[in-house]
């Protein structure tokens, strides 16, 4: 039973610049025991590519959505297109959507409105949510605002991708029944490593976030799903458990959450 990479960007332009195809990435991932991959969109174009690539590979699924940093660039027509994309055969979630106050606070209200619209699309199609939440260092404003919106819209199925929060936030998310997805940051961020020890296995997923968040010792290079075993090894060690048990548990969490065959 292989690793489920719940968040990767096979559709990223960086791979195109490197002349690396999705077929190359998927083949290498399979050889590394990563046999299920979610290909995540971040705008309309990348979401369409995610769907096309998912149709091409039996073990790849698509997640479609508009990243919070880009929502101010799109009109109502984009959400209508997203609504259509959500009907595609291998779309398993809406994402990555959320709030990001790290890069700019200029479009906060637009981000909130866009998040609500995309949550409604997810609920219309009975799809879970892949959330992106990022705060300025020392602040929890984006996290707090996102949770308030999720609660107000009665969101049941949410996974926070690239989670790097606090023990208090872990407790909040667990109480809501939400999931946290961990990537290569855990191999280099000591504070995150401590927090990961507190995440219950039943609320945990694993991601590469490729081509970003490359794990040590390759952290200055381009990331690929094939490097995900470095993340599972690190987490298993932190949680003092057998690596295969971790892989099986997180895979079961993800296949159930995204309604994907095991």
Cβ pair 205, 158 in contact under 8 A: no
Is 57 labelled a binding residue? no
Is 96 labelled a binding residue? yes
Structure tokens at 196: 């990961």
Residue from 78, 100, 91, 165 nearest 128 by CA: 91
Cβ pair 1, 247 in contact under 8 A: yes
Is 161 labelled a binding residue? yes
Tell me the C-alpha to C-alpha distance, in Å, between residue 149 and each of 5, 34, 152, 165, 178: 27, 33, 5, 18, 14
Half-sphere exposure at residue 92, Cβ-oriented, CA atoms within 13 angstroms = 24
Is 72 labelled a binding residue? no
Q: What is the C-alpha to C-alpha distance for residues 19 and 217, in angstroms, rounded to an integer? A: 23
Is 7 labelled a binding residue? yes
Per the annotation, where are the binding residues?
7, 9, 96, 132, 161, 209
Per the annotation, where are the binding residues for a divalent metal cation?
7, 9, 96, 132, 161, 209
């Amino acid at each position: 039973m292989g690793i489920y990479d719940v968040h990767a960007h096979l559709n990223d332009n960086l791979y195109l610049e490197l002349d690396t195809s999705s077929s190359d990435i998927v083949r290498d991932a399979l050889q590394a025991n990563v046999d299920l991959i979610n290909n995540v969109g971040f705008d309309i174009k990348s979401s369409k590519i995610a769907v096309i690539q998912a149709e091409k590979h039996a073990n790849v699924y698509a997640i479609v959505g508009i990243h919070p940093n880009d929502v101010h660039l799109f009109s109502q027509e984009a959400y209508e297109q997203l609504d259509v994309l959500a009907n595609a055969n291998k779309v398993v979630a809406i994402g990555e959507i959320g709030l990001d106050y790290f890069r700019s606070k200029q479009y906060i209200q637009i981000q909130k409105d866009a998040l609500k619209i995309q949550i409604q699309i997810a609920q219309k199609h009975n799809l879970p949510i892949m959330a992106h939440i990022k705060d300025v260092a020392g602040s929890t404003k984006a996290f707090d605002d996102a949770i308030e919106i999720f609660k107000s819209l009665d969101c049941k199925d949410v996974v926070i991708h690239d989670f790097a929060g606090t023990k208090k936030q872990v407790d909040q998310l667990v109480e809501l029944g939400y999931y946290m997805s961990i990537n290569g940051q855990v191999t280099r961020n000591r504070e995150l490593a401590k927090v990961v020890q507190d995440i219950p296995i039943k609320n945990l997923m694993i991601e590469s976030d490729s081509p970003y968040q490359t794990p040590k010792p390759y952290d200055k290079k381009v990331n690929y799903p094939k490097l995900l075993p470095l993340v599972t090894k690190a987490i298993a060690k932190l949680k003092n458990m057998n690596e295969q048990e971790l892989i099986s548990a997180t895979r079961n969490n993800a296949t159930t959450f995204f309604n994907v065959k095991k």
